[in-house]
Chain A
């Protein structure tokens, strides 16, 4: 039986590991390579590493850092940040990364996903959509943003997710900007709506504050990835930095109630 994936998401800013709130106020947490080592010990299902500087600085991905992170990581690894073309994707894949995440470049031109997937295979191409829920006269709308939440895009989140699927993404990550760092739960309504219209694996990010929040997401959507930042970095009421991850026993209990 395939199990839902529980995925720590690591943000890289100025070569350090940070955690944001609403995509702003990056707080330094520690050294990314050291964090990867700790997550190895905790036997994580998967790791997602996103460089939040590369696209806004129009910089190339930091291949040296990616290579060190990939060499250190004993779990499957997804990297995103600054990837715009097939050559970059191939280079990163050959550094030992399993999955390549593309956001801004794919939002601007979804056909980049099909070009990359024809070279590296659909299973290794991840489309990331950063979305913010906005209330209008017509109800709730899910707007899409790129460049760390600063650039608004014309298509809505669900429409764009369908375009990503048809363009060759093997997985789609939905990242809720308005829940980032809040630790008050995932946007379940959005997750259910997207799960019901897409066939590719989905991962949701933004808002998880407890294993209970993950439980709620999986109860509502079944086989999806549950990604989180704050949940796996902070502990206690003062939010002290302490890398943590559910044990095998905790995961079994989590899934037992569902499957």
Chain B
């Protein structure tokens, strides 16, 4: 069973809908006891970094999540702000991140490489796969995904980066480290490419 962490932020219903269409069992996780029988986790997120971190910290789920992700090594997939929350910190706010994957979330517009593009990065963009990862099985460099963000995850150890995308410069858009995975785009809103990625996550 795939558990989608419901801490009051993010499009949980959209993820459930995709899994429903794929005939994969998925449910919401609202309390620590909901985590029993969960074999995979998805951490969604939209909005600002601080609000998402504050709500997760207040949800009563954080300790149990850390136990099953860091000790039991249950696979987890962070999506959009849920992906950024895996980092150590974010330029968008003052709340510390989960620090499960060392790195910092940075602003596009404050980056010296950023030039003459609209910000936020909004719309369909393709990805550049760095190596064969289980998450992107059956997908290629022509696969495109829906992005909606002003900040990007700058991973400290680039060997964890499974895919980059290009917007003024190349940035890390998918990271896998041990059982912890994350994607900057919205797979639940990326039609067949996103559905394939969510199916891959369910099957590994």
| Chain A residue at minimum C-beta to C-beta distance from B15 | A96
With A122-B150, A170-B150 given, is the CB distance from A5 to B123 under 8 Å? Answer: yes
From A1, A70, A72, A76, give the contact of B146 (CB < 8 A).
A76
In the complex, chain A residues 44-76 whose Cβ is within 8 Å of any chain B Cβ: 45-46, 70-76
Say whether B125 faces chain A, with CB atoms less than 8 Å apart.
Answer: yes
From A72, A74, A95, A199, give the contact of B118 (CB < 8 A).
A199
From A70, A98, A120, A199, give the contact of B119 (CB < 8 A).
A199
Which of B17, B81, B124, B192 has the most C-beta atoms of chain A within 10 angstroms of its own C-beta? Answer: B124
State in angstroms the CA–CA spacing of A74 and B117 once bound together: 27
Say whether A246 faces chain B, with CB atoms less than 8 Å apart.
Answer: no
State in angstroms the CA–CA spacing of A125 and B46 once bound together: 12
State in angstroms the CA–CA spacing of A74 and B48 once bound together: 23
Interface pair B118/A202, CB less than 8 Å apart: yes
Interface pair B122/A171, CB less than 8 Å apart: yes
Q: How far is the CB of A215 from chain B (nearest CB, A)?
A: 17
**Number of chain B residues close to chain A: CB under 8 A:** 38
A76 neighbours in B (Cβ, 8 Å): 146, 148, 186, 189
Interface pair B122/A201, CB less than 8 Å apart: yes
State in angstroms the CA–CA spacing of A122 and B18 once bound together: 27
Interface pair B150/A123, CB less than 8 Å apart: yes
State in angstroms the CA–CA spacing of A94 and B52 once bound together: 12
Say whether B98 faces chain A, with CB atoms less than 8 Å apart.
Answer: no
Q: How far is the CB of B70 from chain A (nearest CB, A)?
A: 27
With A2-B167, A121-B150 given, is the CB distance from A96 to B13 under 8 Å? Answer: yes
Listed by A's residue number, 7 A-B pairs whose Cβ atoms lie within 8 Å are A5-B122, A70-B11, A76-B186, A76-B189, A120-B47, A170-B122, A201-B118
